[in-house]
Amino acid sequence: MTTILWDTNGTEIVKTLAAERRAAGALASGLALTLVVVTEEEFAEEAQRAAATAASAHPCRLLVVVRRRVEADDRLDAEVQVGGRLGANEAVMMRMYGRLALHAESVVLPLLASDAPVVTWWHGATPEKLAYDALGVLASRRVTDATTEGEDAIAALKRRAKDYAPGDSDLAWTRTTPWRAELASAFDTVRSSAKVAAVVGRRDDPAALLLAGWLSARLGCEVPVEQAGGRAPGVGGVGVSRVRVELTDGGLVELTRRDGGSVVLSRTDQPDSDVALPERDLGDLLAEEVRRLDADQPYAEALGVATGTPGLTDRPDEPRTLIWVDPMQSNGQPVAAQSSTGSPAEVASSVAGDPGSDVPTAPTTDAASTAEAEGARAKLAVERDATPGPTPEGAPGPPAEQERE
């Protein structure tokens, strides 16, 4: 069943979701996690299909946040369903307009499945620091995609390395899983260590860089990414055409591209074998990331080597602290003000704000509530300014007191 809500608020979404669950007979919740998808309108359909595929493999509550124009009037449209086009799970599709899009957590927090981990996936633009987005702060697993960053792969990966915390991962790393599996199995019968290795492919492909970083960390030698001639077509969605490892005993292990969906595995003194490496769709990649909820240490090692950032695996597993950044500042520069959060409960307490504080606070879930809150803060400010301070001894009092005298 599906219910469409136009120009609504968070309270109505929560009530509608509860009603949909009762109508569908879902009285007992068997949700394993909450999957929060953050995207833009141009990627919305693709993100929904991928999230539905991942949700079909892992029972979860799916919350899709589509951020629209920040300069528009505040409005929230939602589609609530239990068993519909987004799969058999509970799903809420939300389009947020205006400054509400900057405070999506005020709507998302009440919708999180209780006592279940949260995974946040950004499909499209990703904040420079994940702590700039409260939807990333409240998640125990955070998934990005360097291929959708709109910049060169090295810059995107360096941003992720600089901001890395245990629980972060990237779909560019997930795309290398078949390559890593085949290379690891090829070394099952190898008794000598690696001497020289190289990855041949596109040097601007983040998956190729991460694959080279992983090989460097595993083999204990530097593995460069050599630019292939021509367009350097890849295999399985990875811009790699060949991986070559020379061994200390003179042996060789090599994976070479045959076509867009297969490679040839060559080893010294063994016959060549064809290996299928089909390109996986976005939903399968996301399902793989959702499968594990602990920190991905091999990814941290590969990212550190690929970007030249040491010590990523030694970073403490601590919750991030929300950093409020307003992109609509008049000078065009974001101004950050620290706001303490860590868990979803702490996020909820922090976004409530302090009426007397100068730190920007999160709005409520609809325009009417926002106006009411701003009016209340203004009234408190006026009353605070109008309240007379202590009158020094011998000085004339306020006009009212003088009239009474």
Q: Domain range holding 362?
A: 336-385
Q: What is the DSSP letter of 77?
A: E
Domain contains 102? yes
Number of separate domains in the chain: 3
Separation of alpha carbons 370 and 365, rounded Å = 7
Task: Please check whether residues 162 and 311 belong to one and the same domain.
Answer: yes
- pLDDT of amino acid 237: 59
**pLDDT digit string, tens, across residues 357-400:** 333 333 334 444 444 445 555 544 444 444 444 444 444 444 33
Q: Same domain, yes or no, for 223 and 360? A: no
Is there a domain that residue 146 lies in? Answer: yes
Does residue 221 lie in a domain region?
Answer: yes
Residue 355 and residue 206 share a domain: no
Which string of DSSP letters, residue by residue, matches 165-221?
-TTEEEHHHHTTHHHHHHHHHHGGG--SPEEEEEEEE-TT-HHHHHHHHHHHHHHSS
Whether 391 is covered by a domain: the verdict is no
- Residue 119 near residue 143 (C-beta atoms within 8 A): yes
Q: What is the pTM of this model?
A: 0.79
Please tell me the least confidently modeled range out of 37-41, 128-132, 189-193: 189-193
Residues 6 or more apart whose Cβ sits within 8 Å of residue 232: 200, 201, 202, 239, 241
Element (H, E) at 307: helix 297-307
**What single-letter DSSP state applies at residue 85?**
T
Say if residue 14 is in the same domain as residue 51: yes
- pLDDT, average across residues 190-197: 90
In the 8-state DSSP scheme, what is residue 150?
S
Specify whether 235 is located in the same domain as 376. Answer: no
pLDDT exceeds cutoff 70 at 401: no
C-beta separation of 198 from 252 below 8 A: no
Considering the domain architecture, whether residues 41 and 111 belong to the same structural domain is answered as yes
Q: Which of 43-47, 226-230, 346-350 shows the lowest mean pLDDT across its residues?
A: 346-350
Does residue 25 sit in the same domain as residue 84?
yes
Query: What pLDDT shows up at residue 24?
Result: 77
Where is average pLDDT lowest: 61-70, 214-223, 254-263, 370-379? 370-379
